Amino acid sequence: MKIITYNVNGIRSAVSKGLANYIQSEQADIYCLQETKAQPEQIDTTLFEVAGYNSYFHSAEKKGYSGVALLCKTKPNHVEIGCGNPLYDREGRVIRADYDNMSVISVYMPSGSSSEERQAFKMGWLAFFNEYITELKSQIPNLIVCGDYNICHRAIDIHDPKGNANSSGFLPEERDWMEQYFNSGWTDSFRHLNPQPHAYTWWSFRANARNNNKGWRIDYCAVSDGLKNKIKQSWIDPSARHSDHCPTGVLLG
């Protein structure tokens, strides 16, 4: 199964830049999208249907903000909208597709860069998500959690670790959370097969960051450890330029 996660930074904008062609060319079994920034009625799903995908959306109550989606070649047995917590569900942060032998989540974790209040919100989310995903994994052992985590795990995952030591997304408490997460029954599929540096999934629009590859790796395909031995390939595709992020994917055999 081929799974690709992609923060599209506005699905309508990404479509105008050729997202549908990318989706059709890659032919992933499941696409996990984040930051769709649209209500379902604003999205032309026929573009995805033509490419052979069933599409499911969880939009934020606030228009033009947040939102997650799943595009699935095979129709899931069940699609769970949200995580059951109204505080986060109103921001459209979690959607899950259940199959016979596994489930796939598209998640958009909060950013804390805009204010101290949002950083506090982010830390509250991380505490909640840890409990939520631990309980869910006890019910669904074969679980894949793909999306924009808005955290660089280690120094190798950011172009300037010293300069960003006090930046949201690379704070010690956020990195500690990621360390605990990946030590509690989850595998970072990209790092599992790719130890090399300078592999990023997001670049600021400022200072020609993308062309200079001054980026952050904040998008992940995390697989529960029961699926670890099934990871055949994992990759980042910076050639896809529909967003300030790029896709990252995993192939399970």
Q: Which residues are catalytic?
A: 148
Coil vs helix vs strand at 228: helix
Coil vs helix vs strand at 77: coil
Pull the structure tokens for residue 113. 């860069």
Edge-to-edge strand ranges of the sheet holding 78-81: 78-81, 94-98, 103-108, 143-148, 219-224, 186-188
Quickly count: other Cβ atoms within 10 Å of residue 233's Cβ: 13
- The DSSP letter of residue 76 is P
DSSP string for residues in 156-192: GGBS-TTTTTTSTTS-HHHHHHHHHHHTSSEEEHHHH
Contact present, 83 and 93 (Cβ < 8 Å): yes
